[in-house]
């Protein structure tokens, strides 16, 4: 099976590669909470937050129950901690500790109806672009997944956000859901509760590089909508270098708000990308400060492609120990903050500064820089991100909302009425006016925004004694930018400054990344990483290279991927059975093969093997295929069995990661197991070991390094890992929908995975029809519901941008009722595309656009798409003028086919009189209550749809039930005092 066959299978809806997608769960019905207690240490502080009782260990809990205490409904075990200097040892210690608790828990029948809830923090990548922050405790998820398959209903996994502490109500809801047991795996992110689902890996929109050139970059085919982002040919990347130029291989590139505005056509600029980190490929003759192979970072115009050309003055060496992602996150954020605060505003010690949008890239950099300069820092951000500011150490009284003009009074009160000396601004319109009023005498307003640039003389006239300083970083010039960079880097070296948080997307998922940023969901930076592949002239290292799978992969790398230099590592080296024959075969195919005896789990042994790679053919790819099995059910699994299986997986992978960190690798592939994702009875140790590999691959990707974990299902060919399976075992697997992989199928999946944009892929042969039959008389495991459950609604088919007036003519030709339905579908479909939803299910017709997640940028894009779809010229304030999909569709219906004049004009007073005669229960029964509340700017249990947060508190169902008709009318007209 070649790549074309794989593509045909994928197009036919049968992509054999699977991936894990975390999806937000709807709110579950409340249930009376039983007793919940916590075991052991409490590094996450849940005891105080959730008011849980605590016990040192299961024995202490059992003793209390024996004395008459109620058996708890849920027992919480928290596992978290800082990174360890010896990661493999810490992984083993954590796994042994939890295994001991699990065995003791299972041995006591009094807890048979209770659930053990394992809580981690940042141990799984549940959110878009997220790193795995806790590699040490990530393997516990594999261990417990295996326990779940052996003991259904006894264990639940819950992961908390590593960056932002969850509020108490969110934690309580998560624990309620965990105790309920309907979802065995959960994660809390951005206030929502997520659960994993196995999906076809080909899902979503993946940008494809041009097939006829290796030189391309991200651009837009037409401004106005992010759907027009594309990877387009860029021949200038291969042009001869001019004086002072450097050609570099881009490994990671930072995304800035300007790039999103450019895609939406809101700024008059044409080149996307402005900063990057990567490796020097070539220098002009007059460039002496850099050489090929150097790792560099800096401002790089046009950086959203695999190769870029840049002036050497804009580059600096990438600091030792920094990842490419860190290097790509720093230049523009810190240079912009430095230029605005130091060069222009001249911020001095003891002065005060207001930093707007302080959780963005420039904002988080400016907080650090202002503190270093000795200034008092005041901040604004959306309320949902205030926890991030608290985590940065910003005092509560110096945090205000960037979504409400209340920040003016808040800051004025916090400064004793004086105001601030400097404003670093990125807001617009009335927010600029309010910020200008906050300036003290002699204040400086540093404007880095792009959408509301004022005339400096007019501002000074309106606000005497102040200065208005609009700037764009590039106006500083290359020489000054170079000097500023040179001034900043020692501050990083001393620890005064540090790289800011970042989330990463493969550039082929740029549409998702841009949407994430346009919705202001990020804290810190959004970074794009570039796909790469092994260099045929470099050396490919394969661990377990003389084993069954290792040998097959080595052969495939030579015959299908053109590998010419192979280093095969194994414990027995050339003495392994079949090693001589394999070497002869690969040599005959034209490859240079070295087989070396090496214990890859021993750091010194592995370092020695790597040192022997010739400089002429440096290491460019790693395939870690080694591993062992030692199966046992969780109740009898021993620490020795755990250590034996973890060592060749965890220790070896970590040493490979650290020892090759500075190498310019095109691939870093880890052979994992589907047991790590699905759980496998009797394979708790193996699942734990492979879950570490999955987490490490994601961790590398987040750092801008290649990382790919392939969670293999069963192979048809017998090996040391599968030879123990009997015919009955294979028959049982087939009945459950899992068939063994033939060699050709598995190797084709390997090739496809090398080109994938996801860190974890599940390579197994799943027969969905057979799986449905297997679960016919029982519930489908939650992880498989998207694949095996009832088919979902088809993806939305939204109108493309740039169309002519034909759609409008077709709409106008429809009967009125059908036109109304078609317009509502049009609005919902395009709203779903703009918000990044796969279907329009989340776009409720009666819910306010602001509650759905729209802001000014997404509103502009929806307007642009509806312009193209209807042929109308719609205002940018469309979604604010017509606040729900129903209202907007109705207005569009009127515009396309004006209604007949009404028989008479009805005054506001008469409307009030008529509504006063309608009881609230009749409004609810007729389905009109939600619409009335939406017009008023709120709905039951939901936040206000628009306006400052202080104008209308949250209204719940109890409040509404207590209202009479006058109250409801007042609510609709904005006169009710709640």
Q: What is the pLDDT of residues 308-321, one digit of tens each?
A: 999 999 999 999 98
Sorting pLDDT into bands at 50, 70 and 90, what band is 449? Answer: confident
Residue 6 clears pLDDT 80, i.e. is over it: no
- CB of 102 closer than 8 Å to CB of 140: no
Q: Which of 387-401, 704-718, 734-748, 783-797 has the lowest mean pLDDT?
A: 783-797
Look up the pTM and report it: 0.79
pLDDT of the residue at 942: 42
Average pLDDT over the chain, rounded to whole?
86
Phi-psi region of 54 (alpha: psi -120 to 50; beta: other; left: phi over 0): beta
| Beta strands in 234-294, from DSSP E residues, in sequence order | 245-255, 275-283
> Of all helices (H) and strands (E), which one includes residue 655?
helix 652-659
pLDDT of the residue at 651: 98
The stretch 273-278 carries a mean pLDDT of: 96
- Here the tokens at position 273 are 């990308």
Residue 974 clears pLDDT 60, i.e. is over it: no
Q: Which residues pair with 193 in a beta bridge?
A: 188
Q: Regarding beta strands 185-189 and 192-200, do their DSSP bridges make them parallel or antiparallel, or are they unpaired?
A: antiparallel
d(C-alpha 649, C-alpha 806), whole Å: 59
Q: Regarding beta strands 155-160 and 185-189, do their DSSP bridges make them parallel or antiparallel, or are they unpaired?
A: parallel
d(C-alpha 21, C-alpha 768), whole Å: 18
pLDDT digits (tens, 9 = 90+) for 61-71: 999 999 999 99
pLDDT of the residue at 669: 97
The stretch 834-858 carries a mean pLDDT of: 82
Residue carrying the six token digits 């000054």: 480
Residue 719 clears pLDDT 70, i.e. is over it: no
The residues, ordered by sequence, that sit 6+ positions from 623 with a Cβ below 8 Å of its Cβ are 540, 541, 542, 543, 550, 553, 557, 667, 669, 671
Residue 238 clears pLDDT 50, i.e. is over it: yes
The stretch 571-581 carries a mean pLDDT of: 94
* CB neighbour burial string for 501-527, b if at least 16 within 10 angstroms, e if fewer: bbbbbbbbbbbbbbbbbbbbbbbbbbb
Say how many Å lie between the first and final Cα of the chain, rounded. Answer: 66
Residue carrying the six token digits 């440096």: 618
pLDDT digits (tens, 9 = 90+) for 11-40: 334 458 999 999 999 877 655 568 899 999
pLDDT of the residue at 677: 96
297: closest CA among 281, 272, 265, 319? 319
* CB neighbour burial string for 647-657, b if at least 16 within 10 angstroms, e if fewer: bbbbbbbbbbb
pLDDT of the residue at 912: 65
Q: Regarding beta strands 708-712 and 760-763, do their DSSP bridges make them parallel or antiparallel, or are they unpaired?
A: parallel
Residue 696 clears pLDDT 60, i.e. is over it: yes
pLDDT digits (tens, 9 = 90+) for 419-435: 999 999 999 999 999 99
pLDDT digits (tens, 9 = 90+) for 549-570: 999 999 999 999 999 999 999 9
Residue 966 clears pLDDT 60, i.e. is over it: no
pLDDT of the residue at 926: 52
Residue 638 clears pLDDT 90, i.e. is over it: yes
pLDDT of the residue at 796: 38
Residue carrying the six token digits 């605005």: 340
Residue 5 clears pLDDT 50, i.e. is over it: no
pLDDT digits (tens, 9 = 90+) for 180-199: 878 999 999 988 999 999 99
Phi-psi region of 319 (alpha: psi -120 to 50; beta: other; left: phi over 0): beta
Give the DSSP letter string of 138-157. Answer: THHHHHHHHHHHHSTTSEEE
pLDDT of the residue at 913: 60
d(C-alpha 93, C-alpha 639), whole Å: 10
DSSP type of residue 13 = T
Q: Which of 322-336, 392-406, 660-674, 733-747 has the lowest mean pLDDT?
A: 733-747
Calculate what percentage of the chain has a pLDDT beyond 70.
Answer: 85
Calculate what percentage of the chain has a pLDDT beyond 90.
Answer: 62
Sorting pLDDT into bands at 50, 70 and 90, what band is 380? Answer: very high
d(C-alpha 241, C-alpha 237), whole Å: 9
Residue 812 clears pLDDT 50, i.e. is over it: yes
- Give phi and psi for 155, each to the nearest 5: -135, 145
pLDDT digits (tens, 9 = 90+) for 901-914: 444 555 666 666 66
Three-point CA angle 276, 280, 282, nearest 5°: 130
d(C-alpha 865, C-alpha 876), whole Å: 11
> Of all helices (H) and strands (E), which one includes residue 307?
strand 307-311
pLDDT digits (tens, 9 = 90+) for 338-351: 999 999 999 999 99
Give the DSSP letter string of 356-404. Answer: SSTTBHHHHHHHHHHHHTT-EEEEEE-GGGHHHHHHTT--GGGEEESSS
- Here the tokens at position 922 are 């009749």
Higher pLDDT, 851 or 255: 255
Q: Which residues pair with 119 in a beta bridge?
A: 78, 158
345: closest CA among 230, 454, 459, 467? 467
Residue 804 clears pLDDT 80, i.e. is over it: no
Sorting pLDDT into bands at 50, 70 and 90, what band is 978? Answer: very low
Sorting pLDDT into bands at 50, 70 and 90, what band is 167? Answer: confident
pLDDT of the residue at 953: 36
- Here the tokens at position 11 are 């197009």
The stretch 28-55 carries a mean pLDDT of: 83
- CB of 889 closer than 8 Å to CB of 249: no
- Here the tokens at position 615 are 């400089």
Instruction: Report CA torsion sign: 568, 572, 578, 579.
Output: positive
pLDDT of the residue at 4: 36
395: closest CA among 377, 415, 413, 372? 377
Sorting pLDDT into bands at 50, 70 and 90, what band is 729? Answer: low
> 467 in helix, strand or coil?
strand
pLDDT of the residue at 536: 85
Residue 265 clears pLDDT 60, i.e. is over it: yes
Cα dihedral 950→954→960→964 (10° resolution): 0
- Give the number of other Cβ atoms within 10 Å of residue 877's Cβ: 12
Give the DSSP letter string of 518-530. Answer: HTT--SBEEEEE-
pLDDT digits (tens, 9 = 90+) for 745-754: 999 999 999 9
pLDDT of the residue at 808: 62
Instruction: Report CA torsion sign: 592, 597, 599, 602.
Output: negative
Residue 87 clears pLDDT 80, i.e. is over it: yes
pLDDT of the residue at 735: 63
Sorting pLDDT into bands at 50, 70 and 90, what band is 899? Answer: very low
The stretch 644-649 carries a mean pLDDT of: 97
């Amino acid at each position: 099976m070649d790549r074309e066959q794989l593509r045909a299978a994928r197009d036919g809806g049968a992509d054999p590669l699977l991936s894990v997608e975390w999806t937000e769960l709807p709110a579950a019905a409340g249930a009376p909470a039983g007793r919940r207690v916590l075991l052991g240490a409490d590094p996450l502080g849940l005891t105080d937050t959730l008011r849980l009782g605590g016990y040192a260990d299961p024995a202490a809990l059992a003793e209390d129950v024996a004395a008459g205490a109620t058996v708890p409904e849920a027992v919480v075990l928290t596992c978290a901690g800082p990174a360890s200097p010896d990661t493999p040892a810490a992984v083993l210690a954590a796994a042994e500790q939890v295994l001991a608790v699990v065995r003791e828990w299972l041995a006591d029948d009094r807890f048979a109806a209770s659930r053990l809830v394992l809580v981690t923090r940042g141990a799984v990548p549940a959110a878009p672009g997220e790193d795995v922050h806790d590699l040490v405790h990530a393997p516990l998820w594999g261990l417990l997944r295996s326990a779940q398959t052996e003991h259904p209903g006894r264990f639940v996994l819950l992961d908390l956000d590593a960056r932002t502490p969850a509020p108490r109500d969110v934690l309580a809801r998560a624990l309620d859901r965990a105790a309920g047991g309907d979802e065995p795996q959960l994660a809390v992110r951005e206030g929502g509760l997520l659960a994993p689902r196995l999906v076809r890996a080909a899902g979503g929109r993946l940008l494809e590089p041009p097939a006829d050139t290796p030189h391309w970059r991200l651009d837009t085919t037409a401004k106005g909508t992010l759907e027009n982002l594309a990877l387009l040919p860029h021949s200038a990347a291969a042009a001869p270098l001019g004086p002072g130029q450097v050609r570099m291989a881009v490994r990671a590139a930072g995304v800035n708000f300007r790039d999103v505005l450019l895609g939406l056509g809101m700024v008059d600029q044409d080149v996307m990308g402005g900063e990057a980190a990567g490796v020097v490929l070539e220098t002009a003759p007059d460039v002496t400060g850099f050489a090929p192979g150097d790792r560099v970072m800096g401002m790089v115009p046009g950086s959203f492609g695999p190769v870029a050309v840049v002036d050497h003055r804009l580059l600096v060496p990438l600091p030792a120990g920094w990842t490419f992602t860190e290097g790509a996150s720093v230049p523009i954020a810190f240079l912009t903050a430095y230029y605005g605060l130091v060069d222009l505003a001249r911020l001095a010690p003891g002065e005060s500064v207001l930093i707007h949008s302080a959780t963005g890239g420039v904002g988080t950099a400016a907080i650090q820089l202002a503190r270093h300069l000795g200034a008092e820092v005041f901040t604004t951000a959306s309320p949902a991100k205030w926890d991030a500011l608290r985590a940065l150490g910003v005092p509560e009284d110096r945090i205000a909302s960037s979504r409400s003009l209340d920040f003016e009074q808040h800051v004025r009160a916090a400064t004793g009425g004086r105001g601030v000396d400097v404003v670093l601004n990125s807001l617009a319109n009335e927010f600029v006016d309010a910020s200008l009023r906050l300036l003290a005498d002699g204040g400086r307003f540093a404007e880095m925004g792009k959408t509301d640039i004022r005339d400096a003389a007019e501002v000074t006239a309106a606000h005497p004694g102040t200065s208005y300083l609009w700037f764009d970083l590039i106006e500083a010039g290359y020489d000054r930018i170079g000097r500023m960079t040179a001034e900043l880097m020692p501050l990083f070296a001393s620890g005064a400054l540090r790289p800011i948080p970042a989330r990463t997307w493969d550039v082929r998922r740029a549409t998702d990344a841009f949407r994430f940023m346009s919705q202001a969901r990020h804290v810190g930076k959004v970074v794009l990483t570039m796909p790469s592949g092994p260099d045929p002239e470099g050396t490919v290292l394969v661990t377990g290279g003389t084993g069954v799978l290792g040998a097959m992969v080595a052969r495939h790398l030579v015959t299908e991927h053109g590998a010419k230099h192979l280093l095969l590592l194994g414990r027995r080296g050339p003495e392994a059975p079949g090693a001589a024959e394999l070497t002869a075969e690969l040599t005959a195919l034209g490859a240079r093969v070295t087989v070396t005896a090496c214990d890859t789990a021993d750091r010194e042994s592995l370092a020695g093997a790597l040192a022997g790679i010739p400089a002429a053919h440096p290491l460019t790819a790693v395939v870690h295929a080694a591993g062992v099995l030692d199966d046992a059910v969780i109740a009898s699994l021993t620490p020795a069995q755990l250590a034996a299986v973890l060592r060749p997986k965890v220790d070896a992978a970590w040493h490979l990661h650290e020892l090759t960190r500075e190498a310019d690798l095109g691939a870093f592939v880890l052979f994992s197991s589907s047991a790590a994702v699905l759980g496998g009875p009797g394979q708790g140790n193996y699942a734990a070991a492979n879950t570490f590999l999955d987490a490490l691959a994601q961790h590398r990707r987040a750092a801008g390094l290649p990382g790919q974990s392939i969670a293999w299902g069963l192979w048809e060919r017998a090996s040391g890992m599968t030879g123990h399976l009997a015919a009955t075992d294979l028959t049982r697997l087939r009945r459950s929908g899992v068939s063994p992989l033939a060699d050709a199928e598995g190797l084709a999946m390997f090739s496809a995975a090398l080109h994938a944009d996801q860190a974890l892929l599940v390579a197994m042969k799943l027969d969905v029809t057979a799986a449905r039959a297997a679960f016919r008389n029982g519930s489908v495991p939650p992880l498989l519901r998207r694949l095996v459950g009832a088919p979902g609604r088809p993806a939305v088919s939204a109108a493309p941008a740039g169309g002519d007036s034909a759609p409008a003519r077709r709409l106008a030709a429809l009967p009125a009722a059908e036109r109304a339905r078609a317009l509502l579908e049009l609005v919902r479909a395009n709203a779903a595309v703009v918000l990044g939803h796969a279907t329009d299910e989340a776009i409720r017709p009666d819910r306010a656009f602001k509650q759905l997640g729209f802001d000014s940028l997404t509103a502009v894009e929806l307007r642009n798409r509806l312009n193209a779809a209807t042929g109308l010229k719609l205002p940018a304030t469309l979604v604010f003028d017509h606040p729900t999909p129903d209202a907007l569709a109705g207005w569009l219906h009127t515009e396309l086919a004006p209604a007949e004049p009404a028989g008479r004009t009805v005054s506001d007073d008469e409307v009030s009189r008529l509504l006063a005669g309608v009881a609230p229960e009749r409004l609810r029964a007729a389905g009109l209550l939600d619409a009335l509340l939406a017009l008023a700017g709120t709905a039951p249990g939901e936040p206000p749809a628009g306006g400052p947060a202080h104008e209308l508190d949250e209204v719940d169902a109890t409040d509404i039930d207590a209202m009479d008709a006058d109250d409801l009318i007042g609510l609709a007209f904005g006169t009710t005092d709640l």
